[in-house]
Chains A and B, each alone.
Chain A
Amino acid sequence: MLYSIIASGLAVGAVYALIGITYNTMFATSRVMSFTAGQLGMLGGVLGSMFILRLGLPMVVGLLATLIVCALIGVLTEFVAVRPVLKSLEQHLYVLSTLAFALLIQQVTAIEWSTEPQPFPRLFGIGEGIWDEKYWLPVATCAVTIIGLEYLYRRTLIGRAFLAVAEDNFAARALGLPERNLRVASYALAAVVGGLAGFSGGELLLAFFANGPQLNFYGFIPVALGGLGNNRGAVIGGLALGLFQQSANFAVGGIFASVAVFVMFIIILLAAPQGLFGSGTARRV
């Protein structure tokens, strides 16, 4: 029993963590919390199933096609829902614009795909029981993604440029960095991470249009727990959330499990408003 909770807890936790990273990556360059993050996770599953099962593409081609479409949707998000409202960031109009765009994605998926959960292909056919690939695949994907992002941010020029924009976009622009293009690129990157979350968790969550809002909620919690913009915090927060949620499912059952999760979330935020791994920022006056 304990192993089952750990396996499924880590698996859904890894998916939540990846959605958390999606939020963070978009936030870093634009200071916008884009609520399309969960929908990108949903699309990862739906597109993966569509390309591999419905259209019969090989797994690698299906994965690439899924990530490309997700990246395009990420870019579209930046153009449609983010760029027009950046000028009035303090009015938080992005909440409305990104939520509306997220809803649009969800409805189109419901109409064009299906309102019922559809099967997601078995990718490798490795493992049984708690070692089934549906449990370890999201965890492995999360590990690879976080290593990849660390490499990108620390070792590559474009990664450093991302960090520079995230740190202070006025200064970055003054230094001649193409802030707008970097922002578009970061939305594409975030969308790829979101797509990976849905694709790797597809066997667990199925290709279902209603996964979007679910991932939006539960993906946001690790961001708040781990501290906004802190990817390592999001990973730890996500995995902890997954484990706690599955334990609550076992201990108190369906209806109360979500209540338990939100109670824990509120308690942690009361104790540490900046998140467990976030640092209070000093504001120059």
Chain B
Amino acid sequence: MLITRRTLGLGAVAATSTIALSRPGLAANEPLRIGWLASLTGASSAPAIGFNRGVVFATDAINAAGGVKGRKIEIITRDTQGDPTKAVNATQELISQAKVDAIWGPTNSGESLATTAVMARSKMPNIHPCVVDSLIDTKKYPNAFRIAPANGQWDDAVRNYALKVIKVKKVAVIGDTTGYGVTAAKASAEAFKKDGAEVVYVANIDATQPDMTPDMLRARAAGAEAIILWSVSTGMIARLLNTRGTMGWNVPFVGHPSLSSGEIGSLVAAKENWANVFAIGYKSCSFDANGKLPARSAEFVSRLKGKVDLADTLLWWVAGGYDAVNLIAKAVEVTGSSSGEAIIGYWNTLKPYPGVFGDYTFSADQHNGYPTDEVVMSAANSAKDGSFALAPGYA
């Protein structure tokens, strides 16, 4: 056939329209890309490893059921090694090269402080579980949503338990000498005073101090009825508990989740030294007096059985990872779009979204989605399959 200028022109129009018409079809089959900033190796890897199990489990479940409106979920994981610089680089790469639709993580505040502004510039929908209060700001970072409690909520839970549940009036507030320990102990002591409690002793102890007797003696002499502890150092916590045991002073310890870390069990001189210690936990991941988890969590755990190991991690990490993927998938499913505006717009209307870890409520001016009354204290020495027994005294 002779190719004339007219046939060539017609052919070009036909080809262009074919490509243009097929575009929506392509988009519908394109995978939903979720960037996952996971600190999978390095010093603070334990949470990310737990979250990752939830992420993989959720992704496999959704993809096995046909994906999100026919689109498979693709998780693009970047190991940040707990390093803020690596987290920033990975964020930029996920946004500009991998072209992800939303980002889950990072999982620790140090990295999140570095990445939040980067994601905000690109209006990238972001969910994270980091505790530092300033990470959520709907004006500066309208794209960032938190699905775990903020530091202030932890503080409220600890104070609520000390003052209203075990009903003490005089507390000693102890932190370590890290930046976190100093600020957390200061904020906690101030909040206790505001609530009318008597803060009889405040101290920041060097975590490597080999003997904790001086501080414990001073706290006892000041008349403390409970020790409020803010530290992630398991060595320091174990030394304090051992000193309490040696002194024969059965004062309750209430505070940071690290009080329930498995490492403490091997570091305390006697098992009973770890009793009467209450660490921050979550209702959804706590056994009641009959040793049962709440119905939704129990159902989740039964689904995990044989597929996800809970013995060496925490249930809330796995549940948090699972919820994060589902929140992103749900946004795309409901709005039918994976654009940043659509996902963020959908999250802003959640009231509440029933996740496994908790019921998340977001609005345009509140991106702290985790309910404060879900944050409770657990018996620190009661870990079983990643969950803890609810501390005594809760109704």
Binding site for B on A (CB under 8 A): 1, 4-5, 8, 11-12, 110, 115-119, 129, 204-206, 208, 210-211, 214, 246, 249-250, 253-255, 257-258
Contact = CB atoms under 8 A, between A and B. Distances in A.
Given A208-B235, A246-B211, A255 B217 contact: no
Given A1-B217, A117-B238, A206-B235, A249 B211 contact: yes
Contact of A204 (B203, B210, B261): B210
Contacts of B234: 116-117
B266 A249 contact: no
A249 B211 CA distance: 9
A204 B209 CA distance: 9
B250 interface: no
Contacts of B246: 129
Contacts of A117: 233-235, 238, 263, 267
B204 A118 contact: no
Contact of B43 (A110, A129, A206): A110
A22 B166 CA distance: 51
A255 B213 contact: no
Interface string B37-80: 00000010000000000000000000000000000000000000
A206 B210 CA distance: 9
Interface residues of B, number: 24
Contact of A253 (B210, B213, B215, B235): B215
A119 B210 CA distance: 13
Contacts of B206: 254-255, 257-258
- Interface of A, helix, strand, loop or mixed by DSSP: helix
B205 interface: yes
A255 B206 CA distance: 7
Contacts of A129: 246
A119 B239 CA distance: 11
B204 A254 contact: yes
A253 B203 contact: yes
21 contacts: A1-B214, A4-B214, A8-B210, A8-B211, A12-B210, A110-B43, A116-B234, A116-B261, A116-B263, A117-B238, A118-B266, A118-B267, A119-B266, A206-B235, A210-B208, A246-B214, A249-B214, A249-B215, A250-B214, A254-B209, A255-B177
Interface in B233-248: 233-235, 238, 246
Interface in B264-303: 266-267
Given A115-B43, A117-B238, A254 B217 contact: no
Given A116-B235, A118-B263, A258-B206, 17 more contacts: A5-B214, A8-B213, A110-B43, A116-B263, A117-B234, A117-B267, A118-B267, A204-B210, A205-B208, A205-B210, A210-B208, A214-B208, A253-B205, A253-B214, A254-B177, A254-B215, A255-B204
B205 to A, nearest CB: 4
A4 B203 contact: no
A205 B238 CA distance: 12
Contacts of A8: 210-211, 213
Nearest to B201: A253
Interface string B184-215: 00000000000000000001111011110111
Contacts of B213: 1, 4, 8
Contacts of B266: 118-119
Contacts of A119: 266-267
A211 B147 CA distance: 36
B267 A254 contact: no
A260 B263 CA distance: 32
Contacts of A204: 210-211
Nearest to B246: A129
A106 to B, nearest CB: 12
Nearest to A256: B204
| Residue in A4, A116, A208 with the greatest tally of chain B CB atoms within 10 Å | A116
Contacts of B208: 205, 208, 210-211, 214
Nearest to B182: A255
A267 B145 CA distance: 53
Nearest to B213: A4
A209 B209 CA distance: 15
With most chain B CB atoms within 10 A of its CB, the pick from A117, A210, A214, A257 is A117
B267 A11 contact: no
Contacts of B214: 1, 4-5, 246, 249-250, 253
Contacts of B43: 110, 115
A44 B238 CA distance: 21
Contacts of B203: 253-254
B211 A254 contact: no
Nearest to B203: A253
Contact of A206 (B176, B177, B215, B267): B267
A250 B206 CA distance: 12
A244 to B, nearest CB: 13
A11 B210 CA distance: 10
A249 B246 CA distance: 19
Contacts of A4: 211, 213-214
A179 to B, nearest CB: 38
A212 to B, nearest CB: 11
A117 to B, nearest CB: 3
Contacts of A11: 210
A204 B238 CA distance: 12
Contacts of A1: 213-214, 217
Contacts of B205: 253-254
B240 to A, nearest CB: 12
B207 to A, nearest CB: 9
Interface in B299-335: none
Nearest to B235: A117
A116 B258 CA distance: 11
Contacts of B211: 4, 8, 12, 204, 246, 249
Nearest to B239: A206
Nearest to A114: B263
A49 B201 CA distance: 35
Contacts of B233: 117
A4 to B, nearest CB: 5
